[in-house]
Amino acid sequence: MTATLVTDPVIDELIGICGTDNVFADRSSRVNRARVPAPFPVHRWAEHVPDVVVLPTTAEQVSEVVKLANRHRIPVVPRAGGTGLTDGAVPLRHGIVVDVKLMNRILEIDLDDRTVTVQPGINMLKLNEELQKHGVIYPDDPASYPCSLVGGRIGTSGWSLIGGRYGHTRDLVISFQIALPTGELIWVGDGGGRKVRKSSTGYQLKHLFMGHQGTLGIVTEAVLELVPRPEAEFAAFFSYPDYETAWRSTGALAKSGLATLAGVVLFDEWKLDYLRRDDEAYIPQSDDVRCVVATAMYGTTDEVRPGARRLLRIGQETGGAYLGDEISQGDWASRHDRYATPLHGRLRDGQVVPMSWHCEDASINWSKLPQMRREWHDIVARLGDRFRIFDDWGMFAYTNGAFKPWGDYLTEIDVGIWEQELDDASWDAWVTAKRDIAAVAIAHGGSISACHGACRAGEVDLVPAELGGGWDVMKKVKRVLDPLNIMNPGKYLLDQAYEGDPA
Amino acid sequence: MSSTERAQGPTGGTDDGPGTAEFVQEWRNAAYNCYSSGHKFCREVCPVMQVTRNEVHTPTAFHANVVAMEQGLLSIEDVARDYVHCTQCGACELRCPNTLYTGDFYRFRTRTVQLVKAVRALAVDQGIHQPGWQRWVEETDRQRSEPVLGEVPVSQEHVADWAAGLNLPVGGETILFCDCEGAFHRTSVPRAAAMLLKAAGVEFGLMREQWCCGGPAAEMGYTDRAREFARHNVDDWRAVGARRIIVFDPHDYITFTEDYPAWFGDDYDFEIVLFVELLAELVRDGRIQLTRPVDRTVTYHDACRLNKRKGVHAAPREILRAVPGLTFKDVDHVTQWSYCSGAGGGLPIERPDLTAEISRRRVERAADLGVDTLVSACVWSERPLTEQGGKRDDPIQVLDLLEIVALSAGLAEEPA
């Protein structure tokens, strides 16, 4: 690396802001905040190690750290759970990592107006442990539910497994406070009222600061939606003899109009093969089961009970075989933990090797799913032909719309990578494959990412193509709000916003 | 933070001390299984992480460090202090999806506790000591028991003072092993154990010369010292013809059922009996009669080494439900994966502030239930929990399960 901008006087200033106990420049603290579970070039770990880590406890401290960074022109990278599947929290230019995990307090539970106000470092499972005492929950339910944090959910504009019923992070976060790239603290929401869900006042700034991957500031406080703790949960898993039938059935289930329907998930043949590598733990099924569709409903007993009857009827009438209560309830209950394990990694000759789970996602319309799926598997197959360290772990398609679970789908292809064997050639091939995967999504009228974010190496190259004129606006916004390119510099190709600037 | 810490650049080179390469080779795949999945589901159940919120104290970091050591990014010197931040409670292992979903099939289980012990041992081998632990082990070496602060001065002379007046024999087929905290601090627990065994007609004796089990030294990385203690104890058991060892302390139970077999192999053929399981049997069979009502509202603290490390959670609950007069407000053992007293793994010696805060939170959870008593089955947990319980405006008393049972069996009087 080049000479660090973070000199001892800068560290002294940081200590002055955050306190001695919350500033870390030792090697372990920095090395352990260089990566997230996203595809990571392990052999180039050192390139991503920050110079110093701070764990602030208040919004004012965050603000002061960002102002300091502007004064000294030091990059700042925010980090919440560090569980993201794109590399928003991975530093590209070293600098200061602002780790918000110590900001994990619940500030207010408002049962009258149905909100909870929190700091960004709180985890949803932990939050719900408190909320459920009051008969309410915060229903943001990503696969990382037991470990991801509210700040990161906003930073990535996260996607929830039960978003079809309750909405996704952008729908569930009512308003939030953010430290802008120049350090000022502002509140954004729908209009100005912190607990107002719908407003027509001014620009809709909440969405601007959702999913920016740390390039537009650091969230310091958030007001979240509360919903009644569901009285009833119903999960139904169906099996199918072929993909075509399963796909049509998925569409029929999603379009049913059942208001309690939280999600429909389609697992393809590759995914089933992958899960069956561990045949003691996965649904014991005969070989003619080629695809599985999972559904779940939440609500009051009065709604869910009749809705479930209808859902079962639709599933069966469209070619699905109900897999029974035990499998349905058990597998849905383990939805966070279940579907990616490094122990399933296989070389083509069958040898078991520990592989890293990498998942590429996109938003795609229902009508395009079959074609896109073929193209994605082909890309991964060609990758595997060239390098034995890649392994196709199959695909999911989840209903993607908030409140109206039809139309488009979060699609994922999971790829195992034996990172212990990774080198420059295989890493470059991987990045190219990711770019190809993204190109397929765009070609079919979709979007590069439904839930992770599109700033990973490879697909990020196609963001300008996807956004068109919107990309120019995005660059202008970045340059206006972050004149010195302090916030997460290099991320999302946003260096382009400063092209032509004097160095 | 010292200036020397600051001066290190991220690629400033790492010195592989002796044993590092072997250590990395041994642990690289296990570490990579964690590193590569990146779930981090272990994090919010970790009692230390819940307090410090510091990513270098997570099981994820404990594994990632091995990968980073292999990459030449970190050395044992860089990370040794991080590994202090673990009570070895085992929650992370249970919450790991690799363990939960595919462990049986692949015969793999995430072994964070073993990894922590291995890193601590590597540090000691390379001369990197944590001052508190070093002192603790040296004192243990000198007195043959841990230097616990208690009413009884720690020495061989006083190691069986707790049994004064009970007329317990020495030797025999069955030995009651009394751990250091019980022997020198919370003596009411071993007394209760001995009286309950006598009341049930179980024949047992004490060791001729009991030394520390060695477990704490092993947990802190001083494996050679630990084995010396173990050697002595096993020799003492053999010398009196012992076949069965009864232990009431979960830490001893781990040491005798995991460390000793690993050190002594097939020669180690003692039956290790966990008192709480024996007690449940004795109560069930009517050999111990619980007749005196205990007018308390209690909840049970799942001892980590029983619940999370050994899967023992039913017997203590069975016993509590058999105590007349008791109102028992239970919290299930899975919820308690994320509970801890903070007293394990040497944490109270090096980071008493963290132990105190972990205990404070545990007691607060008990208070939320509206109980007056927190019952534990781990004598080590009871010191920090008692301290925190006593500090409250609405104090919560901490009793050992054996103390409660002794009360109900009419063998002890209500504590003041």
Mutate to test the interface with B, among A5, A12, A26, A274 (most CBs of B within 10 A): A26
Residue of chain A with shortest Cα separation from B365 = A130
* CA-wise closest residue to B25 among B73, B87, B67, B56: B67
Tens digits of per-residue pLDDT, A34-44? Answer: 998 877 788 88
Partners of residue A421 in chain B, C-beta under 8 Å: none
Partners of residue B65 in chain A, C-beta under 8 Å: 28, 31-32
Nearest by CB to A340, which of B6, B10, B37?
B37
pLDDT at residue B2 greater than cutoff 50? no
Residue A317, min C-alpha distance to chain B (Å): 32
Residues 169-198 of chain A with CB under 8 A from chain B are none
Query: Which residue type occupies B26?
Result: E
Q: What is the pLDDT of residue A324?
A: 92
pLDDT at residue B172 greater than cutoff 50? yes
Mutate to test the interface with A, among B25, B36, B41 (most CBs of A within 10 A): B36
What is the average pLDDT across B139-162? 89
Residue B67, min C-alpha distance to chain A (Å): 9
Cβ pair B108:A419 closer than 8 A = no
Instruction: Mention the CATH class of domain B289-408.
Output: alpha beta
β-pairing, A52-54 with A96-99? parallel
Q: How confident is the model at residue B18 (pLDDT cuts 50, 70, 90)?
A: confident
**What would the two tokens of residue A259 be?**
């208001």
Q: What is the pLDDT of residue A355?
A: 87
Partners of residue B33 in chain A, C-beta under 8 Å: 342-343, 354
**Count of A–B CB contacts within 8 Å?**
157
Q: What is the pLDDT of residue A337?
A: 73
β-pairing, B271-274 with A232-240? unpaired
Partners of residue A33 in chain B, C-beta under 8 Å: 55
Q: What is the pLDDT of residue A284?
A: 63
Q: What is the pLDDT of residue B4?
A: 34
Residue of chain B with shortest Cα separation from A345 = B33
Residue of chain A with shortest Cα separation from B46 = A147
Cβ pair A343:B5 closer than 8 A = no
pLDDT at residue B12 greater than cutoff 50? no
Cβ pair A49:B105 closer than 8 A = no
pLDDT at residue B17 greater than cutoff 80? no
Q: What is the pLDDT of residue B11?
A: 41
* CA-wise closest residue to B408 among B380, B375, B363: B375
Q: How confident is the model at residue A420 (pLDDT cuts 50, 70, 90)?
A: confident
How far apart CA B67 and CA B75 sit, in angstroms, is 11
Tens digits of per-residue pLDDT, A298-355? Answer: 999 999 999 999 999 999 999 999 999 988 998 888 888 766 677 778 899 988 888 8
Partners of residue A8 in chain B, C-beta under 8 Å: 3, 6
Residue A49, min C-alpha distance to chain B (Å): 7
How far apart CA B40 and CA A335 sit, in angstroms, is 15
Q: What letter does residue A279 receive in the DSSP assignment? A: T
Predicted TM-score (pTM) of this structure: 0.94
What is the average pLDDT across A204-233? 97
Question: What number of CA atoms fall less than 13 Å from residue B139's CA on the CB side?
Answer: 16
Residue B414, min C-alpha distance to chain A (Å): 34
* CA-wise closest residue to A299 among A308, A290, A291: A308
Tracing tokens 């398609």 back to the chain, one arrives at A397
Q: What is the pLDDT of residue B220?
A: 98
Q: What is the pLDDT of residue A338?
A: 67
Looking at per-residue pLDDT, the higher value among B1 and A414 belongs to A414
pLDDT at residue B105 greater than cutoff 80? no
Name the packing angle between helices B223-239 and B131-143 (round to 10°). 20
Q: What is the pLDDT of residue A3?
A: 53
Tens digits of per-residue pLDDT, A463-500? Answer: 999 999 999 999 999 999 999 999 999 999 999 999 98
How far apart CA A122 and CA A100 sit, in angstroms, is 9
Residue B253, min C-alpha distance to chain A (Å): 31
Mean pLDDT of chain B: 93
CA geometry: angle A347, A337, A277, nearest 5 deg: 30
Q: What is the pLDDT of residue B247?
A: 98
Phi-psi region of B124 (alpha: psi -120 to 50; beta: other; left: phi over 0): alpha
Residue of chain A with shortest Cα separation from B106 = A343
Partners of residue B62 in chain A, C-beta under 8 Å: none
What are the domain boundaries of chain B? 3-125, 138-281, 289-408
User: Among B4-8, B158-162, B310-314, where is mean pLDDT lowest?
Assistant: B4-8
Complete domains list, chain A, with CATH:
8-99 (3.30.43.10), 106-228 (3.30.465.10), 232-460 (3.40.462.40), 463-489 (no CATH)
pLDDT at residue B224 greater than cutoff 90? yes
Q: What is the pLDDT of residue B15?
A: 57
How far apart CA B144 and CA A130 sit, in angstroms, is 46
Mutate to test the interface with A, among B29, B53, B338 (most CBs of A within 10 A): B53
Cβ pair A281:B106 closer than 8 A = no
Residues 73-102 of chain A with CB under 8 A from chain B are 81-83, 94, 99, 101-102
Residue of chain A with shortest Cα separation from B6 = A25
Mean pLDDT of chain A: 94
Residue A355, min C-alpha distance to chain B (Å): 6
Residue B309 main-chain phi, psi, to 5 deg? -90, -30
Partners of residue B78 in chain A, C-beta under 8 Å: 26-28, 31
Cβ pair A355:B36 closer than 8 A = yes
CA gyration radius, chain A = 23
User: Among A221-230, A360-369, A469-478, B108-117, where is mean pLDDT lowest?
Assistant: B108-117
* CA-wise closest residue to A194 among A153, A154, A223, A157: A223
DSSP element (H, E) containing A415: strand A408-417
Cβ pair A101:B101 closer than 8 A = no
Cβ pair B56:A49 closer than 8 A = no
In three-state secondary structure terms, B37 is: helix
pLDDT at residue B7 greater than cutoff 90? no
Cβ pair B102:A344 closer than 8 A = yes
* CA-wise closest residue to B81 among A93, A297, A28: A28
Query: What is the percent of chain B where pLDDT is above 90?
Result: 85
Residue B136 main-chain phi, psi, to 5 deg? -60, -45
- The answer to whether A104 faces chain B, any CB pair under 8 Å, is yes
What is the average pLDDT across B337-351? 97
Residue B71 main-chain phi, psi, to 5 deg? -80, -5
Partners of residue A29 in chain B, C-beta under 8 Å: 54-56
Tens digits of per-residue pLDDT, A71-96? Answer: 999 999 999 999 988 889 999 999 99
Tens digits of per-residue pLDDT, A140-196? Answer: 999 999 999 999 999 999 999 999 999 999 999 999 999 999 999 999 999 999 999
Residue of chain A with shortest Cα separation from B80 = A28
Mutate to test the interface with B, among A343, A352, A356 (most CBs of B within 10 A): A343
According to DSSP H, which parts of B20-157 are helical?
Answer: 20-37, 47-52, 59-70, 76-79, 91-95, 97, 103-106, 112-125, 131-143
What is the average pLDDT across B380-401? 98
Looking at per-residue pLDDT, the higher value among B255 and A37 belongs to B255
Q: For residue B62, how far is the Cα from the chain centroid?
A: 20
Nearest by CB to B68, which of A31, A94, A279?
A31
pLDDT at residue B1 greater than cutoff 80? no
Asked if residue A189 lies in contact with residue A176, where contact means CB atoms within 8 angstroms, the answer is yes
Nearest by CB to B44, which of A35, A123, A280?
A123
What is the dihedral sign for C-alpha A421, A425, A429, A431? positive
Q: For residue B212, how far is the Cα from the chain centroid?
A: 14
Question: What number of CA atoms fall less than 13 Å from residue A496's CA on the CB side?
Answer: 13
Partners of residue B11 in chain A, C-beta under 8 Å: 1, 46, 49
DSSP string, B369-388: TT-SEEEES-HHHHHHHHHH
Residue of chain B with shortest Cα separation from A121 = B53
**What would the two tokens of residue A461 be?**
């190259």
Asked if residue A455 lies in contact with residue A492, where contact means CB atoms within 8 angstroms, the answer is yes
